[in-house]
């Protein structure tokens, strides 16, 4: 192996390690839904660096979890 092949191989391994860390080990914020007495689920949404939505709706066929 010459120097270029070693650099390309190490860069590929580093990028692969980053992707694995990002998708499997990085800390993430989770959302949770609260059901009210009438059975309606409500979720508070905070958007950083953008506008804040006033409301969001989900159909009854798809769970909001």
User: Residue 55: what pLDDT?
Assistant: 65
62 with 31: CB under 8 angstroms? no
Report the range of poorest mean pLDDT among 1-5, 11-15, 40-44, 45-49. 45-49
Phi, psi dihedral angles at 35 (to 5 degrees): -85, 130
pTM exceeds cut of 0.85: no
- In tens, the pLDDT along 27-52 reads 877 766 677 777 777 777 776 766 65
CA distance 28 to 47: 15
- Quick one: pLDDT band at residue 1, thresholds 50, 70, 90? confident
């Amino acid at each position: 192996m010459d120097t270029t092949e070693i650099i390309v191989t190490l860069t590929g391994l580093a990028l692969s390690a980053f992707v694995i860390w990002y998708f499997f080990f990085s800390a993430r914020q989770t959302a949770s839904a609260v059901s009210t007495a009438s059975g309606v689920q409500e979720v508070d949404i905070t958007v950083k660096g953008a506008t804040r939505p006033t409301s969001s709706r989900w159909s009854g066929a798809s769970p909001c979890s």
